[in-house]
Amino acid sequence: MNDVTLRGALEIIACVLFLVGLKLMGKQASAKRGNFISAAGMILAVIVAVSASGVDYLTIAITVAVGSVIGAFAAVRVKMTAMPEMVALFNGSGGLASLAVGLIELLPGRDVEVVGRIAAALAVIIGGVAFSGSIVAFAKLAGKLNTKPIIFPFQLTLSGLSAVATLVIAGFAVPHDAHGALLVVLSVLSVWIGVLSVIRIGGGDMPVVVSLLNSYSGVAAAFAGLALASPVLIVAGTLVGAAGLMLTGAMCKAMNRSLSNVLFAGFGATVATGGTAKAAGEVKPITAPDTYALLEAARSVIIVPGYGMAVAQAQHAVKELAELLIENGADVRFVIHPVAGRMPGHMNVLLAEAGVEYEQLAEPGDVNPTMENVDVALVIGANDVVNPDAREDQSSPLFGMPIVDVDKARTVVVSKRSMSSGFAGVENSLFYRPNTRMLFGDAQKSMAAIVAEFKQA
Q: Per-residue pLDDT tens for 425-451?
A: 678 889 999 999 999 999 999 999 999
pLDDT tens per residue across span 41-62? 988 888 887 777 677 778 878 8
Q: What is the pLDDT at residue 125?
A: 95
pLDDT tens per residue across span 309-354? 888 889 999 999 999 999 999 999 999 998 887 777 788 888 888 8
Q: Where residue 277 falls among pLDDT bands split at 50, 70, 90?
A: very low
Q: Which residue out of 3, 331, 384, 407 is catalytically annotated?
A: 384
CA–CA separation, 13 and 10 (whole Å): 5
3-state secondary structure at position 420: coil
pTM: 0.78
Sign of the dihedral through C-alpha 46, 48, 52, 57: positive
Residue 413 has pLDDT above 70, yes or no: yes
Query: Contact at 8 Å (CB) between 334 and 360?
Result: yes
Residue 2 has pLDDT above 70, yes or no: no
- The CATH topology of domain 277-456 is Rossmann fold (3.40.50)
Query: Contact at 8 Å (CB) between 218 and 240?
Result: yes
Query: Contact at 8 Å (CB) between 385 and 403?
Result: yes
CA–CA separation, 337 and 398 (whole Å): 14
Q: What is the pLDDT at residue 278?
A: 44
- Closest listed residue to residue 109, CA positions, set 176, 181, 180, 179: 176
CA–CA separation, 412 and 401 (whole Å): 20
Q: Where residue 275 falls among pLDDT bands split at 50, 70, 90?
A: very low
To 10 degrees, the CA torsion angle through 128, 80, 66, 44? -80
Catalytic (active site) residue 111: no
